[in-house]
Chain A
Amino acid sequence: MPTEILMPALSPTMEEGTLAKWVKNVGDEVAPGDVIAEIETDKATMEVEAVDEGRIGKILVEAGTEGVKVNAPIAILLAEGESESDIGKSGGSAGGEPKVATKTDDEPVAHSGDQARSAATVTPLEERRVPAEGKTHPDPEDPVGDFAQEIPEGTEMVSTTVREALRDAMAEEMRRDQAVFVMGEEVAEYQGAYKITQGLLDEFGARRVVDTPITEHGFAGLGVGAAFGGLRPIVEFMTFNFAMQAIDQIINSAAKTLYMAGGQMGCPIVFRGPNGAAARVAAQHSQDYAAWYSHIPGLKVVQPYSAADAKGLLKSAIRDPNPVIFLENEILYGQSFDVPKLDDWTVPIGKARVHRKGSDVTIVSFGIGMTYAVKAAEELAGQGIDAEVIDLRTIRPMDMQTVLRSVKKTNRCVTVEEGFPQSSVGAHIASEIMVHAFDYLDAPVLKVAGKDVPMPYAANLEKLALPSVKDVIDAVKAVCYRD
Chain B
Amino acid sequence: MAGRQSSASGGSAKSKRSKTVDTESGKEIVRTLEEFSAPKPADFSNDDELRAYRDMLLIRRFEEKAGQLYGMGFIGGFCHLYIGQEAVVVGMQMAMKDGDQVITGYRDHGHMLATGMEARGVMAELTGRRSGYSKGKGGSMHMFSKEKKFYGGHGIVGAQVPIGTGLAFANRYNDQDSVAITYFGDGAANQGQVYESFNMASLWKLPVIYVIENNRYAMGTSVARASAETDFSHRGLSFKIPGIQIDGMDVRAVKAAGDMAAEHCRSGEGPIILEMMTYRYRGHSMSDPAKYRTRDEVQKMRSESDPIEQVKKRLLENHGMSEDEVKEIDKEVREIVADSADFAQNDPEPDPSELWTDIYADEIPQVAE
Contact = CB atoms under 8 A, between A and B. Distances in A.
Interface string B196-229: 1101100100000000000000000000000000
A226 B167 contact: yes
Interface stretch (A8-16, A150-158, A326-334, A452-460): A8-16
A225 B173 contact: no
A262 interface: yes
A218 B367 contact: no
A178 B281 CA distance: 48
Contact of B367 (A45, A97, A113, A266): A113
B200 A262 contact: no
Interface stretch (A120-128, A274-282, A397-405): A397-405
Contacts, number: 253
A209 B197 CA distance: 19
Interface stretch (A56-64, A82-90, A252-260, A443-451): A252-260
Interface stretch (B6-14, B147-155, B264-272, B313-321): B147-155
Interface in A196-234: 207, 212-213, 215, 217-231
B199 A218 contact: yes
Contacts of A400: 367-368
A215 B196 CA distance: 6
B192 interface: yes
Contacts of A248: 156, 159
A258 B159 contact: no
Interface stretch (B22-30, B38-46, B89-97, B346-354): B346-354
B278 interface: no
Interface in B72-92: 72-74, 76-77, 83
Interface residues of A, number: 84
B199 A217 contact: no
A261 B64 contact: no
A350 B134 contact: no
B197 A263 contact: no
Contact of B167 (A12, A109, A229, A300): A229
A7 B197 CA distance: 45
A231 B135 CA distance: 25
Contacts of A264: 133-134, 144-146
B366 interface: yes
B341 A49 contact: no
Most buried by A among B83, B137, B166, B368: B166
Nearest to A93: B72
A265 B146 contact: yes
Nearest to B176: A229
A134 interface: no
Interface stretch (A99-107, A163-171, A304-312, A368-376): A99-107
B5 interface: no
Contact of B169 (A222, A398, A403): A222
Contacts of B70: 8-9
Contacts of A172: none
6 contacts: A12-B77, A32-B64, A212-B200, A224-B166, A225-B151, A264-B144
Given A97-B345, A225-B169, A226-B167, 16 more contacts: A70-B73, A95-B65, A95-B68, A96-B341, A109-B352, A111-B353, A113-B367, A217-B162, A221-B197, A225-B165, A225-B166, A229-B169, A231-B170, A260-B142, A260-B152, A297-B359
Interface of A: 6, 8-12, 32-33, 44-46, 49, 51, 70-71, 94-104, 106, 108-109, 111-114, 181, 207, 212-213, 215, 217-231, 248-249, 252-253, 257-266, 268, 297-298, 300, 320-322, 350, 397-401, 403-404, 432, 436
Interface of B: 60-61, 64-65, 67-74, 76-77, 83, 101, 103, 127-128, 132-138, 142-146, 151-156, 159, 161-171, 173-174, 180, 192-193, 196-197, 199-200, 203, 281, 283, 286-287, 289, 291, 302, 341-342, 345, 348-349, 351-353, 355-362, 364-369
Closest 7 CB pairs of A and B: A225-B166, A221-B162, A218-B196, A8-B71, A229-B170, A262-B135, A321-B361
